[in-house]
Structure 1
Amino acid sequence: MRKKVVAGNWKCNTTVQEGVELAKAVNQLVAAKGPEDVVVVLGAPFTHITKVVESVDGARVGVAAQNCAAEASGAYTGEVSASMVKSTGAQYVILGHSERREYYGETSEILNKKVALTLENGLTPIYCCGEALEIREAGTQKEYVINQLEETIFNLSADDFKKVIIAYEPIWAIGTGKTASTEQAQEMHKDIREAIAAKYGAEVAEEISILYGGSCKPSNAPELFANPDVDGGLIGGASLKAEDFIGIITAY
């Protein structure tokens, strides 16, 4: 039985103090209203992680880093390694986010290193994939997204692959005024699951949680989460407000 997951991605937002207050508010709401069968994750900035971990009930709310270094250690000024992330008490790392790929030049080669180090340190990768507008308009989105997976996490053994959570981001529908329909979301999630089945078998494909990362809000979460291949969401803006975030967590 694959897990339902709602993961917040705070991105480059909140001070440490604001992040702690947000984490405490989410923690209280999850304790009061959160379904026991939904995994909740807060993706905090590196500066916040230790204090956010201390501010939540780890049995109900997990914590993610939004990135990690492609090297284990060494002379890489400004980088934060997977082992450093592990030492904070975080359990997850968001990898391959479209903003990291676009703004910071993250390639499949770099992401393969990051995935390997994340897994070596006992952390769960939340691995992002997705296509830009020109790809969607050309009608080649399936081939593009599957190729992203084939170049990276499809290189993992079945045992390691089963430890990964996938997040699909329709980049063309984020902050563009365009909206991905629930049918479009389900179609891509189904394509991803079928590609996993072809690579690793149907049993593995049924175990993998595939999250939707395209402007998910309390208003559209119930419709999105009702799709058979949408197992939750990677939430951006709505994760910065505790009431909005719990509205998504309780949307199943």
Structure 2
Amino acid sequence: MARKFFVGGNFKMNGTKESIKSIVKGLNEAQLDSNVEVVIAPPSLYLQLAQDQLSKANVEVSAQNVYDKPNGAYTGEISVAQLKDSGIKWTILGHSERRTILGESDEVVASKTKAALDGGLSVVWCCGESLEEREGGNTIAVIEKQLAALAAKISGDEWKKIVVAYEPIWAIGTGKVATVQQAQEVHAAIRKFLRANVSEAVADETRILYGGSVNGKNCKDLAKEADIDGFLVGGASLKPEFVEIINSNL
């Protein structure tokens, strides 16, 4: 079935008021493929700024993280309700930098995802393997373990509000990119897992993004693959070439 192309821009811990305004202005003025769903994820301090500046109909703002408790003494965290109160409809969860640097387990990521869905947010849910795991031939096993933790927490209908992003850890911020064949192989395996463990409908409908040093040069070849439904972009989302990536499915 046809799945709507999706491109996310994860600004990570980058940006100032002026640079965020400049990026949003560029998106507002750009000729973007209207058939592509786009989200940008600035640092939490600038979520409201980006939200207020955006005027493009098919571009939304996403948080980079959210906590799984509704409120309370959790210094530094942001709740689902607070994002909703600010008009934010999306959050990224399970990014490899959260998993590896900040120690978030598969179960913690799944719990956050459940809380986000219960509170009415949509989720870009990330998975991926390390270089050691890939070289050891364990890529698919690692991805399936991460998926299994998520599938244990959510029901079939809730998958409609999830976009899966495959992000090989070894390709994030390194300049290394999975080959088209490597990316498609993992995307196909993710869809196979969903078909076997969730449902045919979820497998067919869930959009699976590739993330990991995506740029204007490699995006078009990746976009041609049957199971690659878009991208989660890091550094390139801060540059003018982000527009080229958004339009890579034309």
TM-score range (shorter-chain normalised) is over 0.9
Give the partner amino acid of 1:54: D
Question: Measured at CA, do residues 215 and 177 of structure 1 come closer, stay the same or move farther in structure 2, by a change above 3 Å?
Answer: closer
Partner in structure 1 of residue 201 of structure 2: 203
Matched residues in 1 for 2:175 and 2:51: separation?
35
What secondary structure sits across from 1:125 in the alignment? Answer: strand
Is 1:249 aligned to residue 246 of structure 2?
A: yes
Could you tell me which runs of 5 or more consecutive residues in structure 1 were left unpaired when the two chains were aligned. Answer: none
Partner in structure 1 of residue 46 of structure 2: 48
| Partner deviation per Cα, 1:163-204 (whole Å, 9 max, x = no partner) | 100000011122345431000000000000010011122222
Is 1:193 aligned to residue 191 of structure 2?
A: yes
**TM-aligned CA deviation for residue 10 of structure 1:** 0.1
Give the partner amino acid of 2:248: A
Which segments of structure 1 move beyond 4 Å, counting only runs of 4 or more? Answer: none
Could you tell me which runs of 5 or more consecutive residues in structure 2 were left unpaired when the two chains were aligned. Answer: none
The range that moved more, 97-106 or 14-23, is 14-23
TM-score of the two chains, using structure 1 as the length reference: 0.95
Give the partner amino acid of 2:123: P
Matched residues in 2 for 1:113 and 1:240: separation?
30
Partner in structure 2 of residue 2 of structure 1: 3
Matched residues in 2 for 1:58 and 1:74: separation?
35
What secondary structure sits across from 1:151 in the alignment? Answer: helix
TM-score of the two chains, using structure 2 as the length reference: 0.95
**TM-aligned CA deviation for residue 58 of structure 1:** 5.5
Equivalent residues in 2 for 1:1-252, closer than 5 Å: 1-29=2-30, 33-57=31-55, 59-176=57-174, 178-241=176-239, 243-252=240-249
Give the length in aligned residue pairs.
248
Identical-residue share of aligned pairs (%): 42
Please say if residues 173 and 212 of structure 2, whose CA atoms lie closer than 8 Å, have aligned partners that are also in contact. Answer: no
Matched residues in 1 for 2:174 and 2:48: separation?
34
